[in-house]
Amino acid sequence: MNFFINETMHAQKSGIEHAELKRFKLFNEHGADCRIVIRNWDPELHENTRQAGIPDAQLISMFDYFQHAEQVKDRRITLADLDFGVANTTVKHEPGKNRVLVTAGGQLVARVNFWPDAQRVHSTELFDAFGNLYLVEQYDSRGFVSLQQWYTPDNQIGMETWLTPAGQPVLESYNRDDRQGKRQQAGWRLTERDGQVFQFATIEALTQHFLDDLNLDFWDLKRPNVFVLDRSHLVEWGITRLKRPAYTVLYLHNAHTANAQEPDDPLLNNNYEFALSDVDAFDAVVSATRKQAEAVAQRFHPRAAHFAIAVGVVPDQLLAAPRVTVARRQFGKIVAFARIAWEKHLDDLVRAVAIVHREIPQVTLDLYGYADPSDDYKARLQVEQVIQAEHLEKVVTLKGYTQDIDQIENSAMMFGVTSRMEGFNLAVMEAIAHGLIAFTYDVNYGPNEIVESGVNGQVVPYGDYRAMAEAMLKVLRDPALAQWYSAGAYESARRYSSAAVWAQWQALLADAQANWPAKLVAARFCKPEEG
């Protein structure tokens, strides 16, 4: 079995989730059995994964697994289904809030919160006779109480209990104050399906136990289980110390150093610091680009096999779709699909557009993506400040998150990337697949490989937004050059066809099979002196 490990699957997805979904679809298309594995508890998980095209049968959530809730028939729980054990209750809707108050004899009994449809119950907050909150029950979107949060008299969560759909408690976590008075999880208690009881000090230890169970459930002497770790901070220690051997893969979705422009910078990307310091515990290391794969091999000299496998796939139907000429596109329309975050440096893209707009007033920029809330939405504020300073309120538009990529990119003309760091950049790959002319900083890793100067756009010096503006102006002044680049974009996207990317994955799967079982067993269980 092939497992792709992540923390959750939000409705608004980052590049890692999009990459994982493209891989999931690719494996399914080629008949390679796979599962999306989710570590964190999320009551909306199944709504989001179903919308993303992941059937429940191919989803394994750690909490679902322990709660016996991997496949559950949906129920619609409404206020009428709730019983608070109190007679003669009165219900009052709170103005402006998607919840109601339940009282009896003037005393607050409960608050009931609803999902956005304003009918299905999301959670209930229960109060004792003195008006103290003592229990919050969180409902899974499929219609059962999944989590109970028990409150202490000082209004802190003292214990959390996860239940089966039948209401049986199976997993508990306990919270205690540390020496600084901060409430922390102090332990976990798990009751397994066979009645065995286990205790764990941390969620990391619980996760390792889950992965051991998963590895055993799908154990096959003919072929190894392949675990692809998409977010290394989740289980980097546990995945490399399984009780039974498996083929473990560290996937680098971003630059391995804090300064992406310096592959040998001593300060590593904090998301990969532990994993790269323990890189020989993995069986394979995958980078999304050839350039990064070479840099990682030169710096860390891993004994593990290392591969360059693109995170993105351009569907065959898109490659075969009718091409839109530049003449049929909106002249001067620039788009970017990216989180509004520090590493995307979109304020530089706005600066470039300001320069271009002074000469060619038809030019506009649409930014698609949700804003990173870090530092009180600092990155979005910086973008807005440049817009105001350059009087671009009618030129630059923050469009928010969207999935309607085809229509947008078939009508736009150009695509801009001004990132400080990247691991691949699915958005620019999708842009060239739609014939958009791409402009990017010479940033590691991804954009400076996907974009080819003189072929499908222009790579400009890192951090030089004036050079990007001049490159855009050169294209806008020359319709023949614009059409040349657009045609080149369509052609260069063939590098990321399903067949091309699947061939890269086949090389990794062949390595896993070639080393099974003898070499993997020896590597994981034999001491060096024992051979």
Mean per-residue pLDDT, 273-291: 92
pLDDT for the residue numbered 527: 44
CA distance 191 to 66: 8
Which one is the CATH code of 318-494: 3.40.50.10540, 3.30.420.40, 3.40.718.10, 3.40.50.2000? 3.40.50.2000
Give which of 307, 209, 221, 228 is closest to 513, Cα–Cα. Answer: 221
Among residues 211, 216, 249, 214, which one has the least CA distance to residue 230? 249
Range of weakest confidence among 42-46, 298-302, 410-414: 298-302
Q: How confident is the model at residue 528 (pLDDT cuts 50, 70, 90)?
A: very low
Answering whether pTM is above 0.85, one says yes
3-state SS assignment for residue 360: coil
Distance of alpha carbon 49 from the chain centroid:
12
Tell the residue number behind the tokens 């490399």, with chain if given. 240
412 residue type, one letter: A
Give Cα 105 to chain centroid, integer Å.
48
DSSP 348: H
Question: Domain 2-71+205-308: which topology?
Answer: Rossmann fold (3.40.50)
Residue 154 is predicted with a pLDDT of 87
pLDDT greater at residue 423 or residue 142: 142
- What is the pLDDT at residue 530? 39
Q: What integer pLDDT is reported at residue 313 of this predicted model?
A: 95
What was the pLDDT predicted at 184? 83
Contacts 24+ apart (CB under 8 A), 57-65: 58/24, 58/28, 58/34, 59/35, 60/3, 60/35, 60/36, 60/214, 61/37, 62/37, 62/38, 62/206, 62/207, 62/210, 63/146, 63/162, 63/171, 65/210, 65/213, 65/214
CB crowding 185-220: b at 16 or more within 10 Å, else e? eeebbbeeeeeeeeebeebbbbbbbbbbbbbeebee
Percent of the chain with pLDDT over 90: 80
Is residue 39 within 8 A of residue 62, CB to CB? The reply is yes
Strand order in the sheet with 396-400: 396-400, 364-368, 333-337, 414-417, 437-441, 457-460
CA dihedral 126, 131, 133, 139 (to 10 degrees): 20
Contact between residue 416 and residue 352 where contact means Cβ atoms under 8 Å apart = yes
Q: State the DSSP H helix or E strand holding residue 430, giving kind and residue range, or none if neither.
A: helix 426-433
Q: What average pLDDT score do residues 518-527 get?
A: 58
Whether residue 142 contacts residue 56, with contact meaning beta carbons closer than 8 Å, is answered with no
> Binning pLDDT at 50, 70 and 90, where does residue 12 land?
confident
Which structure tokens are listed for 373? 């809330």
Kindly tell me if the per-residue pLDDT of 381 is higher than 60.
yes
What is the pLDDT confidence band of residue 191, given thresholds at 50, 70 and 90?
very high
Give the pLDDT score at 523: 56
Computed over its alpha carbons, how large is the radius of gyration of the chain?
26
CATH 3.40.50.2000 domain locations along the chain: 2-71+205-308, 318-494
pLDDT at 517: 78
Give the pLDDT band of residue 531 (cuts 50, 70, 90): very low
pLDDT at 242 (0 to 100): 92
- For the residues 419-434, what does the mean pLDDT come to? 93
Residue 102 and residue 238: Cα distance in Å, rounded?
Answer: 45
pLDDT category, 521, cuts 50, 70, 90? low
- Return the pLDDT at 344: 94
DSSP helix/strand/coil, 106: coil
pLDDT digits (tens, 9 = 90+) for 83-126: 999 889 999 998 889 999 999 998 999 999 999 887 899 999 99
pLDDT at 176 over 90: no
Average pLDDT of the residues of the chain: 93
Burial class (CB in 10 A: 0-12, 13-18, 19+), 475: buried
pLDDT of residue 519: 61
**What confidence tier does 526 reach under pLDDT thresholds 50, 70, 90?**
low
Q: Say which amino acid occupies 475.
A: V
User: Is residue 496 over pLDDT 90?
Assistant: yes
Backbone phi, then psi, for 352, in 5-degree steps? Answer: -65, -45
- Over range 451-474, report the average pLDDT: 97
CATH code 3.90.930 region(s) in the chain = 79-203
Task: Report which DSSP code applies to 143.
Answer: T
| 463-491 mean pLDDT | 98
Q: State which fold the 79-203 domain adopts.
A: Outer Surface Protein A; domain 3 (3.90.930)
- Over the range 152-161, which residues count as b (16 or more CB within 10 Å of their CB) and which as e? eeeeeeeebb
Average pLDDT over residues 32-58: 96
Q: So what's the pLDDT on residue 525?
A: 53
